């Protein structure tokens, strides 16, 4: 049995690719360059000090982000265990204590609707379709690149995507939706898809098949190239000073989806559409497919990229306003209830009991907190509108420069 045979049991291609990359770094640190399968075979043919090998490996990858280090260590641990090498739990605990931090070190940036529009405008037709799908559905890029043509129902309103369990990180199937504007770009892409496959087949040294049934018949490297090329053209290719990685990268489109949809249709429904396991079971138990589609339609304009973005944001703001009115009605009802408790009190504070004074003080504090909260919300809204206006003016100036 091959030393790497166990990797075939993983459903996610992305997981397999990441584990292979980790093992290649681990084994190359010992032997230098070589084929991964040959290096793995050699490793178990020799008598090795596994603890020392792993400690040297940790020193080798020490400058990488904490999440990457933990993932690489986990890949090596699994590699050893699957080949009947088990080290004490105490050793692994002492190793992980040496890893500082638990969050990604790159300070990501979430693009505004206008910035995302500028990025996507510089993409070819299949890039536009892919990245609008990610932005409007909350899918992971690895999930989107595995979608088959029959996984998407463009006749549904809103268009529905069925994500099979073999595509997902958790192994659980789910469905999500895409916006109307994304549907239009997918339809445009489908007009050219056959020609794209023929052209790709001619260019490929390995005789790439024209029978690829995926919606997006290309790989991760191609997808990342499209994104990076668009970033370079829009001058939005800023990098994190400590990690030297792009702050705008495809994964931030999941954050884009969450920050736009969450305030409109509730965070738990948004998280379920994104595939976060802790929310899926509860949401699917409470709401059927039609109800989730209805929720998505309410928040669809918040993830608009093309068309009149200001109209889309205004519609989203109307939904937020409706929710705020409901919230205020509840607050008014609470205030009326508290007032009923106080209306029998005498106006003369000196005659109030300590309990009555306590209720009155609590009511005054609640009203003061609400006033402060409203003032903060108004200031944040003013800043948001100001920032949005600046972005629109910048986009308008860029358009005028192109016209010249």
Model confidence pLDDT, tens digit, residues 34-69: 899 899 899 999 899 999 999 998 888 887 777 788
Helix segments in 204-239, DSSP class H: 220-234
Tokens matching residue 325: 């009115």
| Cα–Cα distance for residue pair 193/195, rounded to 1 Å | 5
Residue 258 belongs to what H/E stretch?
Answer: helix 252-265
| Contact between residue 133 and residue 188 where contact means Cβ atoms under 8 Å apart | no
C-alpha 2: how far from chain center: 35
Pick the closest to residue 222 from 196, 247, 198, 245 (CA basis).
Answer: 196
Taking Cα atoms as reference points, which of 37, 54, 36, 163 lies closest to residue 98? 54
Q: Which two tokens stand for residue 359?
A: 């209720």
Question: Which residues, other chains included, contact 283 with Cβ-Cβ below 8 Å and sequence gap of 6+?
Answer: 268, 269, 272, 292
Rounded CA-CA distance 148/134 in Å is 15
Per-residue pLDDT reduced to its tens digit, 90-118: 888 888 887 765 444 445 678 888 888 98
Strand 160-163 and strand 174-177: the pairing is antiparallel
**pTM attached to this predicted model:** 0.59
Closest CA to 147 of 136, 159, 139: 139
Going residue by residue through the chain, which has 404 residues, state the pLDDT in tens, using 9 for 90 and above: 488 888 888 766 777 888 898 899 999 989 888 899 899 899 999 899 999 999 998 888 887 777 788 888 989 999 999 898 898 888 888 888 877 654 444 456 788 888 889 899 999 999 999 999 999 999 999 999 999 999 999 999 999 999 998 888 778 889 999 999 999 999 999 999 999 998 888 776 555 566 889 999 999 889 999 999 998 898 876 665 555 565 677 888 888 999 889 888 888 889 889 888 777 777 877 888 899 999 999 889 888 888 554 454 545 555 555 666 667 667 667 666 666 655 554 445 556 667 766 777 777 777 777 777 777 777 777 777 666 666 766 766 776 676 66
Rounded to 10°, the helix 252-265/309-342 angle is: 40
Pairing, β 152-153 against β 160-163: antiparallel
SS3 of the chain: CCCCHHHHHCCCHHHHHHHHHHHHHHHHHHHCCCCHHHHHHHHHHCCCCHHHHHHHHHHHCCCCCHHHHHHHHHHHHHHHHHCCCCCCHHHHHHHHCCCCCCCCCCCCCCCCHHHHHHHHHCCCHHHHHHHHHHHHHCCCHHHHCCCEHHHEECCCCCCEEEECCCCCCCCCCEEEECCHHHHHHHHHHHHHHHHHHHHHHHHCCCCCCCCCCECCCCCHHHHHHHHHHHHHHHCCCCECCCCCCECCCCCHHHHHHHHHHHHHHCHHHHHHHHCCHHHHHHHHHHCCHHHHHHHHHHHHHHHCCCCCHHHHHHHHHHHHHHHHHHHHHHHHHHHHHHHHHHCCCCCCHHHCCHHHHHHHHHHHHHHHHHHHHHHHHHHHHHHHHHHHHHHHHHHHHHHHHHHC
pLDDT, residue 69, reads 85
C-alpha R_g of the chain: 27
The end-to-end CA distance of the chain, in Å, is: 66
The sign of the CA dihedral 230, 232, 236, 237 is positive
pLDDT at 346: 44
């Amino acid at each position: 049995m091959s030393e790497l045979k166990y990797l075939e049991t993983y459903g996610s291609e992305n997981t397999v690719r990441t584990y292979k990359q980790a093992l290649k770094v681990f084994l190359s640190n010992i032997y230098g360059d070589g084929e991964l399968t040959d290096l793995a075979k050699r490793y178990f043919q020799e008598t090795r000090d596994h603890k020392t090998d792993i400690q040297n490996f940790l020193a080798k990858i020490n400058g990488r982000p904490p999440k990457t280090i933990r993932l690489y260590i986990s890949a090596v641990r699994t590699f050893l265990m699957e080949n009947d090498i088990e080290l004490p739990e105490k050793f692994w605990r002492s190793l992980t204590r040496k890893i500082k931090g638990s969050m990604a070190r790159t300070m990501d940036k979430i693009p505004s609707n206008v910035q995302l529009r500028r990025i996507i405008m510089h993409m070819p037709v299949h890039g536009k379709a892919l990245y609008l799908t990610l932005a409007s559905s909350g899918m992971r890029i690895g999930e989107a690149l595995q979608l088959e043509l029959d996984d998407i129902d463009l006749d549904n309103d809103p268009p529905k995507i069925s994500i099979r369990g073999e595509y997902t990180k958790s192994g659980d199937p789910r469905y999500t939706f895409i916006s109307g504007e994304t549907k239009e770009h997918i339809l445009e892409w489908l007009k050219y898809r056959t020609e794209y496959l023929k052209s790709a087949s001619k260019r490929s040294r390995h005789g790439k098949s024209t029978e690829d049934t995926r919606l997006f018949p290309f790989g991760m490297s191609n997808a990342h190239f499209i994104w990076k090329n668009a970033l370079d053209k829009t001058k939005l290719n800023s990098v994190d000073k400590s990690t030297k990685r792009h702050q705008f990268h495809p994964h931030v489109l999941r954050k884009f989806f969450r920050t736009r949809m969450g305030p409109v249709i509730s965070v738990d429904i948004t998280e379920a559409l994104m595939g976060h396991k802790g929310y899926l079971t509860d949401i699917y138990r409470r709401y059927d497919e039609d109800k989730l589609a209805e929720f998505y339609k309410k928040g669809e304009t918040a993830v608009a990229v093309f068309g009149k973005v200001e109209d889309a944001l205004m519609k989203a703001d109307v939904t937020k306003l409706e929710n705020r009115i409901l919230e205020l009605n509840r607050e008014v009802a609470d205030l009326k209830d508290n007032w009923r408790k106080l209306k029998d009190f005498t106006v003369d504070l000196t005659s109030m009991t300590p309990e009555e004074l306590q209720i009155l003080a609590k009511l005054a504090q609640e009203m003061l907190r609400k006033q402060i909260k409203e003032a903060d919300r108004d200031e944040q809204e003013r800043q948001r509108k100001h920032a949005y206006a600046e972005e629109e003016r910048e986009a308008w100036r860029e358009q005028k420069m192109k016209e010249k």
